A and B are shown apart, each in its own frame.
Chain A
């Protein structure tokens, strides 16, 4: 210890003798994260396909759409609206869920653009497996379950309240329409909830560039989309720059009916949801 003190004193003396002065340093920070930029709103149709290995074999791009959500973002104000559309909605003479099988994702996006009057810029499709992969890849997603959920068919078994769901649990949460109020309407609302909770969870990735890269790659591995690869990072940055409080979630309702073949359908009550987006109004 004495030797150390002597060494420190010696260094001090040497510095003093040399007349060395050290200027104080100041830390300056650069934080540049340009998001996807375009005039007007950016719209993405998020599609959940019920086909995909290992759950159901077949072409995921020609499955049934279990969930369809229209996401509209204003890049200038960084506000967004997510419209959750029931899968049994009658669209162009068909159930919405069947349009993926009949038309593929490009056709589904075009039909939904006609139906809603909202231009659809991109579509992004996930499967059961990819939802599990993404949720597990994020280390689980903390979801605030609104009411008790217990449904042997989907595998859901959740008490109300915030809880971290693993991939297979998140899939059960998304698929349960038996123990949620409103049946398919309630299930569709839970789809939007999971999107919202996952978004809130990954927002911190924006300033951690390696982590943001890993998150974008995780989504890329588990999503089929027509978004150009060069736009994935700026789109992710734009999404993470949106405050959760600036996202409006609209779970559309409708009247239950029966199609000619006897299948249950929903006559949608869209209210002003699509009018607002057409007028460029998004967010709360």
Chain B
């Protein structure tokens, strides 16, 4: 992609995904609930629960899942200023504006991931999806899209969040950010009520735009891998 006026620039990484979290996620995906629970300090292992009555109580009411720690690994700023073709000096894309826009979009995505995949009272329901989307994206949503965003009727016992990271691309015209696209990956483990445990993930991209309700996802291209519901 070329064009006048250095159209894109990459800002330094905001925060890297911790290696420990990645290792934990790999262990999660190996379906070792006891191991992952211990590694994440997320409650006692099943073995401990069998041995200790107080631990058994803890298993009956598992602790809430930790929120995702969604890290922004890279920000790319893409300029939209057309001054060059008019022979005028353009306004440089403001990196501070870009960072603010990315932070706002990142917060909306992180809140969605927590509500959709982790929080006990809202996970796998419709509410977080409605809050995530712009009005026109909500109007275009199908049942298939809802499933793709994580709405599901699953007998979930608990969820264990893994690492989540994103790269960001922000479209900036001078001192105004018009859109932020986040390409992300969020890993988790889903433990069903019958004790079966599965690695799950949501990955893909969303484009956020400013709306009257704040930054909201206006386009979505996302895949969610979830355990198959029992017949």
B117 at the interface (CB under 8 A from A): no
Q: Does B207 lie within 8 Å of A233, measured CB to CB? A: yes
A46 to B136 CA separation, bound complex (whole angstroms): 26
Are A23 and B198 interface neighbours, CB within 8 A? yes
CB of B25 closer than 8 Å to a CB of A: no
Interface segment, one of A76-84, A86-94, A210-218, A271-279: A210-218
Stretch at the interface among A104-112, A157-165, A223-231: A223-231
**Is B133 an interface residue, CB under 8 A from the partner?**
yes
Please tell me if the beta carbons of B149 and A30 are within 8 angstroms of each other in the complex: yes
The digit string for B149-172, where 1 denotes a CB below 8 A from any CB of A, is 110100000000000000001010
Return the contact of A218 from the options B3, B210, B227 (Cβ within 8 A): B3
Residue of A nearest to B169 (CB): A210
Task: Please report which residues of chain B, range 120-139, place their CB below 8 angstroms from some CB of chain A when the two chains form the complex.
Answer: 133-134, 136-137, 139
- Chain B residues lying within 8 Å of A269, measured Cβ to Cβ, are none
Q: Is B82 an interface residue (CB 8 A)?
A: yes
- Knowing A20-B33, A229-B178 are in contact, say whether A27-B225 is a contact too (CB < 8 A): yes
Look across to chain B and name the residue whose beta carbon is closest to the beta carbon of A58: B87
Docked Cα-Cα span, A55 to B153, in Å, equals 62
Interface residues of B in 168-200 (CB under 8 A from A): 169, 171, 173, 176, 178-179, 181, 183, 190, 192, 195-200
A133 at the interface (CB under 8 A from B): yes
Interchain CB contact (< 8 A) of B224 among A27, A216, A218, A222: A27
CA distance A21 to B192 in the complex (A): 10
Q: Which residues of A contact B218 (CB under 8 A)?
A: 34, 233-234
How many Å lie between the Cα of A16 and that of B143 in the bound state? 38
A2 CB–B CB distance under 8 Å: no
Cβ B219 vs Cβ A32 within 8 A: yes
- Which A residues, 176 to 219, have Cβ-Cβ distances below 8 Å to chain B? 207-210, 212-214, 216-218
Is B198's CB under 8 angstroms from A22's CB?
yes
Knowing A133-B2, A213-B179, A213-B181, the reply to whether A31 touches B173 (Cβ < 8 A) is no
A contact residues around B139 at 8 Å (CB): 34
Write the nearest CB–CB distance from A61 to chain B, whole angstroms.
8
Q: Given A26-B226, A27-B224, A30-B145, are A220 and B85 also a contact pair (CB < 8 Å)?
A: no
A37-B136 CB under 8 A given contacts A20-B31, A20-B33, A221-B5: yes
Does A256 interact with chain B (Cβ within 8 Å)? no
Residues of chain B within 8 A (CB-CB) of A233 are 178-179, 207, 209, 218-219
- Given known contacts A18-B34, A60-B85, A217-B78, is B144 in contact with A29 (CB within 8 Å)? yes
Write the nearest CB–CB distance from B111 to chain A, whole angstroms: 17
| A130 and B144 alpha carbons, distance in the complex (Å) | 40
List A contacts of B195 (CB < 8 A): 21
CA distance A29 to B204 in the complex (A): 9
Known: A33-B221, A133-B3, A214-B169. 19 other contacts (CB 8 A): A15-B32, A22-B196, A25-B228, A26-B226, A28-B224, A29-B148, A30-B145, A31-B221, A32-B140, A33-B140, A34-B218, A59-B86, A60-B86, A130-B82, A137-B2, A210-B169, A213-B169, A217-B80, A221-B85
Please report A residues at the B interface, Cβ cutoff 8 Å.
11, 15, 18, 20-34, 37, 52-53, 57, 59-61, 126-127, 129-130, 133, 136-137, 207-210, 212-214, 216-218, 220-224, 229-230, 232-234, 237
